[in-house]
Amino acid sequence: MGVSLEAIKKINAEMQKRADDPYVEIIGHYVIDRCEEEACAALVLADGKTLGGAMQAVTATAQKVKKGNVAVLTQDRVFGEVDKYFGLTTDTRAQQRAMMTAPGGGAATEQVEDKKPILDLTDFL
């Protein structure tokens, strides 16, 4: 099995464990998209690296900027934390593709003229 396929299966398995979590779905799709590159897939397969760990890294960052009961992170900051956790470089196109996977029911979405959903990750916590 190739490195990319192995990394995709690893992340997909983690996503299935939390199938009802829209944030895990978005971040998972982002990581899977990045796994198409062999070098990125190898970083995702590194010992101890998990989708859950990436989500914890984002949550830890949100806790640092928390004001009262609210923590606001921009989309760039969320994906940046995921990239930093796995050791990936920034890929804004992969971020945009991941945002398009946002489920319509569980997250704040709106339709724009070209009918593509937009999710605001500022409600991450």
- Joined together, the tokens standing for residue 16 give 């299935």
Which tens digit of pLDDT belongs to each residue from 61-117?
A: 999 988 888 888 899 999 999 999 999 999 999 998 888 876 653 343 333 344 444
Which tens digit of pLDDT belongs to each residue from 33-49?
A: 999 999 999 999 999 99
Q: Are 40 and 90 in contact (CB under 8 A)?
A: no
Instruction: Give the helix/strand (H/E) hosting 119.
Output: strand 117-119
Average pLDDT over residues 25-34: 94
- Answer yes or no: pTM beyond 0.85: no
**Packing angle, helices 75-86 and 51-65, rounded to 10:** 130
Greatest C-alpha distance within the chain = 48
Q: 28: buried, middle or exposed (CB in 10 Å: 19+, 13-18, 0-12)?
A: buried
Q: For residues 90, 1, 9 and 53, what is the CA-based torsion angle, rounded to 10 degrees?
A: -50
Judge whether residue 27 has pLDDT over 70: yes
Q: What is the DSSP string of 100-113?
A: TT--TTTS-EEE-T
- Joined together, the tokens standing for residue 124 give 């991450």
